[in-house]
Amino acid sequence: MPIAGIYGPEDFGSPVHGHPAAQARSRVTAGERARALPVPSLEWTPEVERNTAHLYQRVKKVISPAEWPFMAPYVQAINELKKTRDAVILAHNYQTPEIFHCVADIGGDSLQLAIEATKVKSSIIVQCGVHFMAETSKLLNPHKTVLIPDQRAGCSLASSITGADVRLLRERFPGVPVVAYVNTSADVKAEVDICCTSSNAVEVVESLGAPSVIFLPDQYLAKYVASKTSVKIIAWKGACEVHERFTGDELRAYREADPSVQIIAHPECPPDVLAEADFTGSTAHMINWVRSNRPKRVVMITECSMADNVRAELPGVEMVRPCNLCPHMKRITLPKILDSLIYLREEVTVDPVIAERARRSVERMINLKN
Ligand code: 13P
Ligand code: SF4
């Protein structure tokens, strides 16, 4: 069904929202210094080489032998400090291979990370991903310390809408239930009925049993959902700055160059892009599709580190690699993860009143899944 309408801040006279990434990175505070552990040696020694050799095996297809000596000392130090701090590292599929395959304890898409966050036993969670993911982990673990190596790791979708916008949408469409993509702030999650991810968006919309649903903030994911359901979808004008850059022409060019190539795309892409794809799915669905279909050559129309992570795991599959990087995901680096563990920074907090309501929206989604 075609989408019923797409709204944005200007439809309510609100200013266009700024990006959280514009904030400055904070310095190490006196409090962080007081609880710091000693900075470990970051020398490339024969011992470090030996201790990290099994991890290099995992990434040798995508990280050259010349790069590894710069990464391995951090990898070893992070893995040791995780034990000292009783910390667990959760990493999104868009993290670079040295993070995803060498220091993360759990990797996955937004839904998997949200579910895993409910099962964590360690007292500290280090979220290698963007701010809304760390906030979701905090919502589900209010008594644990949740750290993000760089608070500026934002998201163009999360910054496109505020809780006040949701209240205005509810006034405009009284009684219509609201679904929020997890790529939103806790402030927005607190105002909605239920969350979804790109793995379960259609299922969540249909679970409400309503003829119309407000779906925010991604207009392209909303269009994708509308194409799969008879529920009338009212959308918001947000977009992912990584996926909206792909074009149908680009995909046609890949196919003309090699008609046997398989093209798989994320539903945050515009409809003309999805129309050219052989398969559409969340990051986890895309990875599973490659694992089970083992295509000879595949183009992954999504953030480009994911292709590296899949290539490290499945060296027999050739990746044609359009490289659209998410600048926010790329703020997370090995040195910043190490800093997180040494200084216990940067801590993610959510106002308890907002957290209580936002948690309900995330838990409703998770309970639907189980
Ligand atoms: P998923 O991992 O849920 O597919 O989301 C992709 C994304 O862009 C997350 O920021
Ligand atoms: Fe947000 Fe897009 Fe980056 Fe995902 S890839 S974090 S949706 S900007």
**Chain segment 162-214, per-residue pLDDT in tens:** 999 999 999 999 999 999 999 999 999 999 999 999 999 999 999 999 999 99
Pocket around ligand 1 at a 6 A CB cut-off: 93, 109-111, 183, 197-199, 240, 268, 282-283
Q: Which of 245, 267, 258 is closest to 322 using CA atoms?
A: 245
> Residue 15: which H helix or E strand, with range?
none
Domain ranges, residue 316: 243-325
| CATH code, 267 | 3.40.50.10800
186 contacts 139 by C-beta, under 8 angstroms? yes
- pLDDT value at 19 more than 80: no
User: Residue 7 has what pLDDT?
Assistant: 77
| 136 in a structural domain | yes
Lowest mean pLDDT among 53-67, 106-120, 191-205, 225-239: 106-120
Is the same domain home to 27 and 134?
A: yes
Give the nearest ligand 2 atom to 94 CA. Answer: 5
Is 310 a domain residue?
Answer: yes
Residue at 305 is within a domain: yes
Distance between CA atoms of residues 312 and 359, nearest Å? 35
Looking at the fold, whether 93 and 140 belong to one and the same domain comes out as yes
pLDDT at 341: 97
The reply to whether 119 and 58 lie within a common domain is yes
Same domain, 139 and 28: yes
Handedness of CA 206, 209, 212, 214 (dihedral sign): negative
Is residue 352 domain-resident?
no
The per-residue pLDDT for range 296-317, each reduced to its tens digit, is: 999 999 999 999 999 999 989 9
Q: What tens digit of pLDDT does each residue of 34-86 get?
A: 889 999 999 999 999 999 999 999 999 999 999 999 999 999 999 999 999 99
Q: Does residue 143 form part of some domain?
A: yes
126 occurs within a structural domain: yes
188 CA from centroid of ligand 2 (Å)? 17
Beta-carbon neighbour count of residue 177 at 10 Å? 19
When divided into structural domains, the chain yields a total of 2
pLDDT tens, 337-348? 999 999 999 999
How many angstroms is it from 177 CA to the middle of ligand 2?
Answer: 25
